[in-house]
Chain A
Amino acid sequence: MKKVIEGSHAVSEAVRLARVKVLSAYPITPQTHIVESLSEYCADGSMDARFMCVESEHSAMASVIGAASGGVRTFTASSSHGLALMHELLHWASGARLPIVMAEVNRALGPGWNLWMDQTDSLAQRDTGWIQLYCEDGQEVLDTTIQAYRLAEMVNLPVMVVLDAFFLSHTYEPVNVPDQEQVDRFLPSYVPRIQLDTANPCALNQMAPPPVYMEMRHSTQMAMEQVPRLFKQVEDEFFSIFGRAYGPVETVLCEDAEIVMILTGTAASTCRQVISDLRSKGEKVGLLKLKMFRPFPTELIRKILEPIQKVAVVDRNFSFGASGIFAQEIRAALCNYPEHPPVFGYITGLGGRDVTPEILEDIYWRTRNNATPKAESQWVGLDQEIVES
């Protein structure tokens, strides 16, 4: 049924429909609405699940790791500093090959204290072995969360469903909330490959000395490499039931485009409008929406970008001393191609700064009017008065 709900509640509805058994989280703006409603579901009986109250995000992740090792479906959510505090255990969750699903609401890290949209928090966790899926609107958040369980349980890897603070988490819009029966059809009950059993005791994840550690890491990568293929399988099944699919990347008007803009999250949605406006002015511009960041869909991206003349990557994040993180990854994906388009990197929308249609148009024109990038990243929308003060 289509309902006007908040982005956060799209996550909560999905987690309820996925029949998650153990939840644990520590509140942090802008993630709180997600677990707030889930705790109500647990309390009022609309979810048959245990909500574990903990004293920190580190403990929240430790709790779901424990529960997942017991062989049940688990969920947690966090943001920014909370995610950073989980960092150590993010490695553990993936190394232990546990299919945990987490909603991560992109928020800036302090100082200066900032509650707003910024992708650096989730991108700083890119090497932890988690699958990362970035979402554009409420519907995609709900669908991706349900899919995430299917995918995680197929490959035994944890999945992070990423959504923008406020622009998505706190925005109400129509979302089709599926029936439980439909979801059950798509997502059968969990059959764990890893499960502690008191009747048949064993120790998990004890010492892995040099002769085996590398093989274990290789094994995780082998599973990661299967993700794009399996994600397609998951999406095909999802489509057959719900009629919606997103893909690891989505292209809009790229076939004949000279310039392709690469975006993630809600800014990708705004960019759809911009592309449409520019097209009506005769500009040959396309959009590549990047949904899957880990594993990085290198092959797909190469294929799409190979014939393109210029690529403009919009990063709402920054790696200090380097450049925007998505731009880095795109460059890395292309560099082994003898012929590849120049990659223009743009930094904008940090710490909740709005990414307006005007800014995206500006980025387009900058790319259009320069043969090669002036720098690895150009900062768009800086207030020169503050910069020079």
Chain B
Amino acid sequence: MTTAQASSDHISLLISRSKISTEINKTGSWCFVRPGYQDRTAPCSAACPVGEDIGRIEMLAVQGLFKKALETILQENPFPAVCGRVCFHPCEGACNRGEFDEPISINKLERFLGDIAFLDGFGPSILNLPNNGKKIAIVGAGPAGLAAAYFLTRLGYVCDVFEAADAPGGLLRWGIPSYRLPSDILENEIQRIQNLGVRIHCGEKLSEDFLIEAKERYQAVFLGCGHGRSTGMNIAGEQMAVDGLKFLYRIRNGEKLPMQGTIAVIGGGNSAIDIARSLIRLGAKPIIVYRRRKQDMPAFEHEIKMALEEGVQIQELLSPVRIDQDGSDYILSLQEMKVGEQDADGRARVVPKDSKTQSLRVNQVFSAIGAEPDEVWKVPPEKIPEILTLSHCTITQQDLPIVFGGDLTNSNKSVTDAVASGKQAAMALDTLFQKGWENINDRLSECRVGNSPALSMEIYMGGDRKNRSRHIVAYNEVNIDYFQPCNRVVSLSVPLQKSICSFDEIDHTLSTTGAMSEAQRCFNCGICNGCDNCRLFCPEVAVTLEDNKRQINFDYCKGCGICVVECPRSAMVIEEKKV
């Protein structure tokens, strides 16, 4: 420090004044730890089956960069508008904000971005590799098959998709009622896949022979044709029960099916819920009969809640034993069950409660206890030498590489897991062609999002995301001093009395302001959003900002770590200086 004395009219004026900067004092030599910028993995993206870069998507949405946000989704998922409606959003369960107040409405934001793409007519531009001359056949135009075609095409392959039905979409088109997924939304997203050059051949039901023919024309086959046949109940009178999946198909096909009276729906999955809620809309009084407890139902919690609100009854701990006809009614005999020990996956096992039975008189019985492959060649073989079982698909290589994917292999039979399967298959096949069979596991492992099985195509294709640390940001790593409690956004919906009278979509898409303020709530865990705290707080002014990039000048950084502590979103790390 220096003092300066000026003089005017002999008046003493002595104050401290300094023109010397601290530049000469290179405090960096004192430093024994070094801070650094390191984007890290947000827990939401690790929880997402397709590993979407959610923290970054919300960051772009806050800035109003909707097209970029959409492109970030499309790196990992061709179906934002679809998944924004039907995904069971495990991301929200993992959201760090949930510990602070309420998780971010990631699902609603994805829907907003998916919808605005079509409203605003975005022509998204994402990296696609040039045609490499290889052709892949894809069986089934459901979410797995279409995703496989989408990702393979982006990797430079020519894809032919064969679909038995007369329109693409698979379960998305036939299995999910339109009040959850309107068909125009689906068609828009399929069209975007087709725009990439994917050829979809509808009405082509293939047989096992196709695998032999395909050798001549294709370098690989992806089987994503799903489960075409409802699982049997193995009870007397089963043939009197209506196949629930076929019922949903007929509704989506535009058939008018007026229903009345009491109808039993046997099952506890999403299909059972979809059937019951569709029955309400057609005028019937559905009762779901489930052998375990309500909390054990595999259906999504939100769907169960909606069904109950709409008037669906659920009777738990009842296992059907036979169906009898009585005039125009049916008598459903039910074995009462009780909760036993827990089974391996943590669900409570149920066992018959003595020999107590009860009967339920209904006008119709629907079955919805699950589905299975309709033909044996669609089941992955066992005990062959060249077989590789991955989290979301199984690859065999005999004469021709064949990937079994989607519901054929997924333990979690969700739309988003189906997309994950298509993506994993695309990466596995590409690695197979590029680097050989033995490198598939390692190469895919490099593309994992955090520690989860989810894979990132952006990482696979060498995008910026490959620099992201695998470390998943925990809640206690977020500096919550920088955030104000704020409730999550609520989307508008059609009133219940009205919604149960039609198959029109119930929830509205968020408004632009609603979406932006919801995105604003996001901690952006592990992702630098340029808040500049590091630069503003640095006591040595050692953080520089040029061309919107921050850098640490280690001539002056003394390793105090304030920048790391004051980073609200844990996008900085500090480590011991290497000698």
Contacts and interface: CB of A to CB of B under 8 A. Distances in A.
Interface of A: 95-97, 154-156, 193-194, 200-209, 212, 215-216, 218-220, 222-223, 226, 230
Given A193-B6, A207-B1, A212-B3, A219 B16 contact: no
B19 A219 contact: no
B271 to A, nearest CB: 62
Contacts of A209: 1
Nearest to B4: A202
**Range of interface residues on chain B?**
10 to 19
Contact of A207 (B8, B14, B16): B16
15 contacts: A96-B15, A154-B9, A154-B11, A155-B11, A193-B6, A194-B15, A202-B17, A203-B19, A204-B15, A206-B1, A206-B18, A209-B1, A216-B3, A216-B15, A219-B13
B16 A202 contact: no
Interface of B: 1, 3, 5-6, 8-19
A155 to B, nearest CB: 5
Given A206-B1, A207-B1, A215 B17 contact: no
Contacts of A223: 11-13
Nearest to B15: A97
Most buried by B among A96, A209, A219, A220: A219
Given A206-B1, A212-B3, A95 B11 contact: no
A155 B12 CA distance: 8
A97 B7 CA distance: 13
A156 B11 contact: yes
Contacts of A207: 1, 16
Contact of A219 (B1, B14, B18): B14
Contact of B13 (A193, A201, A205): A193
A219 B12 contact: yes
A156 B13 contact: yes
B19 A202 contact: yes
B23 to A, nearest CB: 13
B17 to A, nearest CB: 5
A222 B10 CA distance: 10
B11 A216 contact: no
Given A155-B11, A193-B13, A223-B11, A202 B6 contact: no
B519 to A, nearest CB: 32
B12 A193 contact: no
A122 to B, nearest CB: 24
Contacts of A154: 9, 11
A215 B5 CA distance: 11
A374 B12 CA distance: 44
Contacts of A201: 19
Contacts of A220: 12
A203 B5 CA distance: 14
Contacts of B8: 193
A208 B2 CA distance: 9
Contacts of A215: 3, 14
A230 to B, nearest CB: 8
A283 to B, nearest CB: 44
A226 B11 contact: yes
Contacts of A218: 12, 14
Contacts of B19: 200-203
User: Which A-B residue pairs are the 7 nearest by beta carbons?
Assistant: A219-B14, A222-B12, A219-B12, A202-B19, A203-B18, A208-B16, A216-B14
Most buried by B among A201, A207, A212: A212
A56 B489 CA distance: 37
A219 B4 CA distance: 12
A206 B14 contact: no
Contacts of A204: 15-17
A154 B5 CA distance: 15
A22 to B, nearest CB: 20
Contacts of B5: 219
Contacts of A203: 17-19
B13 A97 contact: yes
B16 A216 contact: yes
Contacts of A216: 3, 14-16
A10 B542 CA distance: 52
Contacts of B1: 206-209
Given A154-B11, A230-B9, 16 more contacts: A154-B9, A155-B11, A156-B11, A202-B18, A204-B15, A205-B15, A207-B1, A207-B16, A208-B1, A209-B1, A216-B3, A216-B15, A218-B12, A222-B11, A222-B12, A223-B12
A226 B10 CA distance: 9
Contacts of A200: 19
Given A193-B6, A206-B1, A212 B13 contact: no
A96 B15 CA distance: 6
Most buried by A among B3, B5, B14, B19: B14
Contacts of B12: 218-220, 222-223
A95 B16 CA distance: 10
Nearest to A98: B15
Contacts of B14: 212, 215-216, 218-219
Contacts of B11: 154-156, 222-223, 226
Contacts of B3: 208, 212, 215-216
Most buried by A among B10, B11, B19: B11
Nearest to A219: B14
Nearest to B18: A203
A95 B17 CA distance: 12
Most buried by B among A203, A215, A222: A203
A209 B16 CA distance: 10
A202 to B, nearest CB: 4
A226 B7 CA distance: 14
A284 B233 CA distance: 125
